[in-house]
């Protein structure tokens, strides 16, 4: 069984920041107060050690989202769409 969900991420740092989709290396720059929707579809908890949850790391100036090897991800905002 697959899981799917949407996470909305908004840059409230007051300066530019990035959303990084790993392990693909896709980067989306976010202006202050700009947001994106991260749409994720991947394995549920019964399909392996990383199934059932999405790892998100907060780093200086970036939010790093770790995808699954057989997952589908989309970073969506009005001006840009990235698909994996």
Residue 57 has pLDDT above 90, yes or no: yes
Q: Does the N-terminal peptide bond of residue 23 adopt cis geometry, omega within 30 degrees of 0?
A: yes
Residue 21 has pLDDT above 60, yes or no: yes
pTM: 0.77
More confident residue, 55 or 47: 55
More confident residue, 83 or 25: 25
The domain of 48 spans 2-83
What's the structural domain count of the chain?
1
Going by C-beta distance under 8 Å and a sequence separation of 6 or more, which residues neighbour residue 58?
64
Residue 10: pLDDT band (50, 70, 90) is confident
Going by C-beta distance under 8 Å and a sequence separation of 6 or more, which residues neighbour residue 53?
45
């Amino acid at each position: 069984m697959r899981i799917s969900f949407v996470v909305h991420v908004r840059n409230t740092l007051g300066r530019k920041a990035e959303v990084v989709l790993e392990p693909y290396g896709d980067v989306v720059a976010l202006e202050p107060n700009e947001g994106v929707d991260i749409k994720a579809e991947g394995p549920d908890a019964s399909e392996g050690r990383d199934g059932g949850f999405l790892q998100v790391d907060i780093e200086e100036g970036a939010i790093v989202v770790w995808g699954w090897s057989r997952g589908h991800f989309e970073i969506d905002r009005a001006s840009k769409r990235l698909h994996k």
